[in-house]
């Protein structure tokens, strides 16, 4: 089960290349801070601008650094089914514990096309697969009925929801039952998501506040929602600051302030503006991170 806080890992760059040393040190720190899992090569990891070789390398580096101490849910989605199959096969070979596969973006497939996409990927590997529904980036919203159909594929075990619609946790649960793993894709909804049957959050903020984000999950999954809320309240300005400009710009800048990596991004993403940087710094100070 992919339960608890999973960090949607940033990918450090240095001189235009992946900073492998910084990345593995970052993974080590994340584990030491108590995260339950790691997600390399998601959107926060700038997967759209990684080459296939870099994408595969980052997943291998993550598995190598984790050494089984935290689960690795590798981002292997693509809007080409063949490409997604290739990336997912590599993740399986590299030793990842599962694959996170985003809904196909840009080409806008029909519900049947979405089903066939996930079916083809799932049948190519034995890895457990978590779907990822994020209409804000992929354009399409995978409706509950389609997710329920896809959930019948044996190794499709859950869904990461970034719709922001908390009713979806309950409406999907009514169709697929409690064993289908539902994971929040938004830090701000993490507690409410768990209260309605979710089991965790794939987090951007945990890149820089892993211990606090892990505490929110640990408390909420034990039913201590008041305790979780007390921690969450401290994190709200930080959650907001992480999306004051397109992610991962703000969170990568925040990580640089902590000495974890450079703030470098790959075009077409650029550094946050001065006002956004100031907002990030203020939120980090309020949370006691710097």
Residue 277 annotated to the active site: no
CA distance 37 to 50: 22
Catalytic residue among 6, 71, 115, 160: 160
b/e sequence 144-177, b meaning 16+ C-beta within 10 Å: bebbbbbbeeeebbbbbbbbeebebbeebbeebe
Give the position of tokens 């309605």.
Answer: 196
CA distance 49 to 22: 19
β strands within 121-212, DSSP E: 129-133, 156-161, 181-184, 200-203
Beta bridge partners of 6: 37, 202
Contact assessment for residue 73 and residue 2, using Cβ atoms and an 8 Å cutoff: yes
Catalytic residue among 6, 132, 252, 260: 132
Residue 160 annotated to the active site: yes
CA distance 152 to 142: 15
Point out the residues that are catalytic.
132, 160
């Amino acid at each position: 089960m992919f339960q608890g806080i999973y960090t949607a890992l940033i990918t450090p760059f240095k001189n235009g290349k992946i900073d492998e040393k910084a990345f593995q040190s970052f993974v080590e720190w994340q584990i030491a801070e108590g995260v339950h899992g790691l997600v390399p090569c998601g959107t926060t990891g700038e997967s759209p601008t990684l080459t296939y070789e870099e994408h595969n390398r980052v997943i291998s580096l993550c598995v190598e650094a984790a050494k089984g101490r935290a689960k690795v849910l590798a981002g292997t989605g693509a809007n080409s089914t063949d490409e997604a199959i290739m990336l997912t096969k590599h993740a399986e070979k590299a030793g990842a514990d599962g694959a996170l596969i985003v809904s196909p973006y840009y080409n806008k497939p029909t519900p049947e096309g979405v089903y066939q996409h996930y079916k083809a990927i799932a049948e190519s590997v034995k890895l457990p697969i978590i779907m990822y529904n994020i209409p804000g980036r992929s354009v399409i919203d995978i409706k509950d009925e389609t997710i329920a159909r896809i959930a019948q594929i044996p190794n499709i075990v859950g869904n990461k929801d970034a719709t922001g619609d908390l009713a979806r946790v309950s409406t999907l649960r009514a169709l697929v039952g409690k064993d289908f793993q539902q994971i929040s894709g938004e830090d701000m909804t993490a507690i409410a998501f768990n209260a309605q049957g979710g089991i965790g959050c794939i987090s951007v903020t945990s890149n820089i506040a892993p211990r606090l984000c892990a505490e929110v999950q640990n408390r909420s999954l034990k039913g201590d929602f008041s305790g979780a809320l007390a921690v969450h309240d401290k994190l709200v300005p930080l959650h907001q600051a992480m999306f004051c400009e397109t992610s991962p710009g703000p969170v990568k800048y925040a990580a640089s302030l902590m000495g974890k990596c450079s703030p470098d991004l790959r075009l077409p993403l650029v550094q946050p503006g001065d006002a956004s940087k100031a907002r990030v710094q203020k939120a980090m100070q309020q949370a006691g991170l710097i």
